[in-house]
Amino acid sequence: MKKTKQSPSPALSANARTVLERRYLRRDADGKILETPEDMFRRVAQTIASAETRLETGTDAAKLEEQFYRMMVELDFLPNSPTLMNAGRELGQLSACFVLPVDDSMESIFEAIKHTALIHKSGGGTGFSFSRIRPANDVVASTSGVSSGPLSFMKVFDAATETIKQGGTRRGANMGILRVDHPDIMDFIMCKRDQRVLTNFNISVGLTEDFMKAVEEDGEYDLLNPRDGRLIKKLSARKVFEHIVDLAWNNGEPGIIFLDRLNRDNPTPHVGEIESTNPCGEQPLLPYESCNLGSINLARMCNDGDIDWDKLGRTVRLATRFLDNVIEVNKYPLAQIDEMTRANRKIGLGVMGWADMLIKLGLPYNSTDAARLGEKVMKFIQDTAHETSADLAEERGPFPNFNGSIYDKPGVRPVRNATCTTIAPTGTISIIAGSSSGIEPLFAVSYVRQVLDNDILVEVHPLFEQIAKEMDFYSPELMKKIAEHGTLRDLPEIPEDIRKVFVTAHDITPEDHIRMQSAFQKYTDNAVSKTVNFCHDATREDVAMVYQLAYRSGCKGVTIYRDGSRDQQVLSVAKSE
């Protein structure tokens, strides 16, 4: 295949190169690195473009390969990590997100553990609902014994994950969901109070509309045995809600997800009910579904202080085609996943670098204008992705479960993908792109970042450094001072308009966080990964208020974090020692 030699080199930072060299680039049996980052992007572009030949679309695969290559090498768009790591290699598993079913039987539970191990080995993350497992101390007919309950089985999943460690690529990640009406819910809410247990799990309580109504009315609700639907007892909804808030305030877990809302947006209700998301919460999936994600770097979609809508539109169209091709060439870890994923063809196109874009446009993250623009940008991406998916349906056929889906209406163009958009956390790909993560505000203008287990990276925001130099207030002493503060708020030596625009996660209120999450959620098929940061002194009432606000403003779930409430933080402001 023809290669264009003059393609631009990626402007990769030292941190990006470190990440790529450690985990992404091909190596030989002795661990010697066999490819450059450019080779990696070429490998991915070529593999994903090869779907065109397989599908006989008539598209020039070599030309498309070049477009895919440029889109990645110029850091305009990156697919999720497993695609970068595994495309064109023996493993060939390209998805970040999976959900597996766990039924109320030993066979099903241990089958799910085996499948989890296979998925983790390939770099994917897994989500499960444990709600179908009978509660602890229930009857087990076959042994005349008592059941151990969902929590004890979660420990087995956790231990299996610990052992796999994703084959040296990345840590296994799990999401564990329990419905709020499961009899073991109170123990579940508490299960991560000790930070040393279930370390390979994020946990979320699955809240229902009935429950939220009962909280509002200060009423009771029913706990039901999933085995036979029997009423076990009634609990005060407000007490349970306060219990969740208390534990989340304590160390950020559990999170919450709104199950009815996930199912209201379930594009294929005729195929099954959504009971879980992937590990970071942004991708609701049916049991045995997988999804591949990709994110457009909004920092690269600006031109002279304005949004370059043409470039953004072009990138969305190309990225949508890219992600649909991923489904085609993906090597799935299980036959059931292969079948389910190809039948619904969900993709999750999202964004990173949103905070960077706002800085370039001179808009403070915590302004109504920024939230309004968030809606506009995401609506544009969503509309363009849907149009592209409809074009792909004309070319390649709609997704096989289309009949009976929510799109199956007279006058509506069929689509190729049951969902198109998701806002991922972009934890690692944003480091590769040198952009802010997802739709998060800057964490700090200078900070220490812990990635990939225990590696530490120090970062100063490149746009800030550039502006400080241009405006002549750059000095190493000042940068050091900023690193200690973690915010520009109390530093009068920095011009006020710069301080306003370089707001960090801690300068903005939890309400600002939710406003932005809900702005993007409004035009996202799947869900939005977002952490609402609280200062250390925030109260339980503050947390409860944000949960209610998230519920009222259409979010599908919430993850909160109160500064300093965990022993180990993924991001922390640099200390001057």
**What residues act catalytically?**
278, 280, 282
194, 198, 201, 204 alpha-carbon torsion, rounded to 10°: -50
Q: Which is nearer to ligand UDP, 424 or 538 (CB)?
A: 424
What's phi and psi for 102, nearest 5 deg? -130, 110
Least distance in angstroms from the C-beta of 168 to ligand UDP: 12
> Whole-angstrom Cα distance, residue 216 to residue 403?
38
| Residues whose CB is less than 8 angstroms from the CB of residue 398 and which lie 6 or more positions away in sequence, other chains included | 414, 415, 416
Least distance in angstroms from the C-beta of 281 to ligand UDP: 7
Q: Which is nearer to ligand UDP, 97 or 549 (CB)?
A: 97
DSSP string, 175-220: EEEEETTSTTHHHHHHTTSSTTSSTTEEEEEEE-HHHHHHHHHT-E
Contact window for ligand UDP (CB under 6 A) among 35-43, 216-224, 275-283, 360-368: 275-283
- Residues 76-105 as x/- pattern, contact with ligand UDP by CB under 6 A: ----xx--------------xx--------
Q: Which is nearer to ligand UDP, 147 or 428 (CB)?
A: 428
Number of residues binding to ligand UDP, judged by CB under 6 A: 20
Left if phi > 0, otherwise alpha if psi is -120 to 50, otherwise beta: which for 352? beta
> Whole-angstrom Cα distance, residue 73 to residue 5?
13
Q: 139-140 and 77-79 as β-strands: parallel, antiparallel, unpaired? A: unpaired
DSSP 423: B
Q: Which is nearer to ligand UDP, 150 or 427 (CB)?
A: 427
- Residues 368-407 as x/- pattern, contact with ligand UDP by CB under 6 A: ----------------------------------------
Two structure tokens written together for 11? 């402007």
Interface with ligand UDP (CB under 6 A), residue from 252, 427, 434, 510 = 427
Interface with ligand UDP (CB under 6 A), residue from 129, 401, 426, 446 = 426
| 286 binds ligand UDP per the rule CB under 6 A | no
Q: Which is nearer to ligand UDP, 61 or 423 (CB)?
A: 423
Q: Which is nearer to ligand UDP, 433 or 494 (CB)?
A: 433
What's the angle, vertex CA 424, arms to CA 422 and CA 427, rounded to 5? 170
Residue 196: how many CB atoms within 10 A of its CB? 7
Q: 77-79 and 284-285 as β-strands: parallel, antiparallel, unpaired? A: unpaired
> Whole-angstrom Cα distance, residue 542 to residue 306?
36
Contact window for ligand UDP (CB under 6 A) among 22-30, 57-65, 278-286, 504-512: 278-286
For residues 490 and 510, the answer to whether their CB atoms sit within 8 Å is no
Q: Which is nearer to ligand UDP, 325 or 426 (CB)?
A: 426
Contact window for ligand UDP (CB under 6 A) among 362-370, 423-431, 476-484, 568-576: 423-431
For residues 192 and 199, the answer to whether their CB atoms sit within 8 Å is no
Two structure tokens written together for 7? 């393609």
| Residues whose CB is less than 8 angstroms from the CB of residue 481 and which lie 6 or more positions away in sequence, other chains included | 491
Q: Which is nearer to ligand UDP, 204 or 428 (CB)?
A: 428
| Residues whose CB is less than 8 angstroms from the CB of residue 223 and which lie 6 or more positions away in sequence, other chains included | 181, 182, 183, 185, 231, 232, 233, 234, 235
- Nearest to 328, CA basis, from 316, 314, 345: 345
Least distance in angstroms from the C-beta of 311 to ligand UDP: 22
| 424 binds ligand UDP per the rule CB under 6 A | yes
Least distance in angstroms from the C-beta of 126 to ligand UDP: 8
- Residues 16-45 as x/- pattern, contact with ligand UDP by CB under 6 A: ------------------------------
Least distance in angstroms from the C-beta of 320 to ligand UDP: 17
Contact window for ligand UDP (CB under 6 A) among 170-178, 189-197, 234-242, 510-518: 170-178
Q: Which is nearer to ligand UDP, 79 or 398 (CB)?
A: 79
For residues 532 and 553, the answer to whether their CB atoms sit within 8 Å is no
| 449 binds ligand UDP per the rule CB under 6 A | no
The residue at minimum Cβ distance from ligand UDP is 125
Interface with ligand UDP (CB under 6 A), residue from 116, 428, 533, 559 = 428
Interface with ligand UDP (CB under 6 A), residue from 22, 171, 311, 522 = 171
Interface with ligand UDP (CB under 6 A), residue from 10, 125, 272, 374 = 125
Interface with ligand UDP (CB under 6 A), residue from 86, 278, 320, 382 = 278
Q: Which is nearer to ligand UDP, 224 or 298 (CB)?
A: 298
> Residue type for 187, please?
D
| 323 binds ligand UDP per the rule CB under 6 A | no
Q: 201-207 and 174-179 as β-strands: parallel, antiparallel, unpaired? A: parallel
For the sheet with 446-451, list strands across it.
Answer: 455-460, 446-451, 571-573
For residues 108 and 101, the answer to whether their CB atoms sit within 8 Å is yes
DSSP 22: I
| 173 binds ligand UDP per the rule CB under 6 A | yes
Please list, residue by residue across 177-186, b when 16 or more beta carbons sit within 10 angstroms of its beta carbon and e when fewer do.
bbbbbbbbbe
Least distance in angstroms from the C-beta of 282 to ligand UDP: 6
Q: 446-451 and 571-573 as β-strands: parallel, antiparallel, unpaired? A: antiparallel
* Cross-strand pairs, 563: none
Contact window for ligand UDP (CB under 6 A) among 52-60, 298-306, 419-427, 486-494: 419-427
Least distance in angstroms from the C-beta of 120 to ligand UDP: 7
> Whole-angstrom Cα distance, residue 215 to residue 207?
11
| 170 binds ligand UDP per the rule CB under 6 A | yes
| 557 binds ligand UDP per the rule CB under 6 A | no
Which residues contact ligand UDP by CB under 6 A? 80-81, 96-97, 124-125, 170-171, 173, 278-280, 282, 293, 424-429
